[in-house]
Structure 1
Amino acid sequence: MPLGTESNYSMANTYTQIHIQVVFAVQNRQSLIQQKFKDELFKYITGIIQNHEHKVLQINGMKDHIHILIGMRPSQSLSDLMKQVKQDSSKWINNKKFIMGRFSWQAGYGAFSYSKSQLPDVIRYIQNQEKHHQKMTFQEEYLALLKTHMVDFDERFVFKPIE
């Protein structure tokens, strides 16, 4: 085998089906994602994810957080992808001067896996964010996701309500 082809060759027989919903918030849960640039932001984030050879199945959010359903390839870790998404999109928002002051995402994220049969429901859920948040806060939604997926969490590090 020629040098330099080992990594491509080893992935040749790799078959995966990995679907992850990622949820993350604006720093201090400030309501900074404005309607006027929301769609452009989602397209930009979609581009970042696609440039890393993953697939965005759905993206949406509210003024203080976003949800992304991703078809992941095993070639990159989720933490590396999220670092890139948050870093590049923050820089993009700041360069475009969409908000007064400096924009940044809160540290961390929630990630939840789904089977293919669950995807239509998850897509609908993400599409209907505005409707969901008429009934529950982001913190209530996030805690429900953690509990539904039986994720161990430390209350000290869960997004706190804005005071």
Structure 2
Amino acid sequence: MSWVRIWVHMVFSTKDRVPFMNTPELRSEIFKHIKENAESKGIWLDSINGYNNHVHCLVSLGKEDSISKVAQLIKGESSYWINKSSLTKPKFMWQDDYWAVGLSESHLIQTRNYIHNQEKHHTQKSFKEEIDIFMNKYGWQYIQE
């Protein structure tokens, strides 16, 4: 029997960072659906939250999972559902890219708290400011394709 626990903090944004998810009620409905859909596909989505133009997910990968597969399943189905349900007036789309980083067990509580407090966090920092801080902190560079 295999036992795998690989924690990933994944962040993805709406296409062109359009603030489609502009009310707490809409975000709650979308995040609830994403969590239920992930569960139905055998994806362990521990925590999910975000703000008007992006989503944070704390995922535990299973032995058959890859980050790209999980991102595709979560993003693809949710954008289809959002459009089918007419939750936004313009066509809803996620950005193709995403950000993902592995976590140790010792960082889970801190990461869960960070994800659960997105509303408060983004009254102080924009999504762009947040990304720039991560880019500088970890020495990452934007990749132009």
TM-score, normalised with respect to structure 2: 0.90
2:81 is matched with 92
What is the distance in 1 between the residues matched to 2:143 and 2:59? 27
1:9 is matched with none
Instruction: Say which one has the larger Rg.
Output: 1
What is the distance in 1 between the residues matched to 2:132 and 2:63? 28
Deviations 1:70-100 (A, max 9, x none): 1111212110111111111011010111111
Correspondent of 2:5 among 14, 17, 22: 17
Change (3 A) 1:109 1:151: farther
Contact 2:43–2:70 (CA under 8 A) maintained in structure 1: no
Uncovered stretches (5+) of structure 2, i.e. residues with no partner: none
- Residues 77-156 of structure 1: pairs in structure 2 closer than 5 A: 77-148=66-137, 150=138, 152-154=140-142, 156=144
Cα RMSD (Å): 1.7
What is the distance in 1 between the residues matched to 2:136 and 2:7? 19
Q: Tell me by how many angstroms 1:42 deviates.
A: 0.8
Contact 2:20–2:53 (CA under 8 A) maintained in structure 1: yes
Change (3 A) 1:39 1:143: same
**Equivalent pairs: percent with the same residue?**
28
Correspondent of 2:21 among 14, 29, 33: 33
In the alignment, residue 140 of structure 2 is paired with which amino acid?
Answer: D
Change (3 A) 1:55 1:146: farther
Number of residue pairs aligned between Structure 1 and Structure 2: 144
Deviations 1:97-116 (A, max 9, x none): 11112100011100011111
Uncovered stretches (5+) of structure 1, i.e. residues with no partner: 1-11, 158-163
TM-score, normalised with respect to structure 1: 0.81
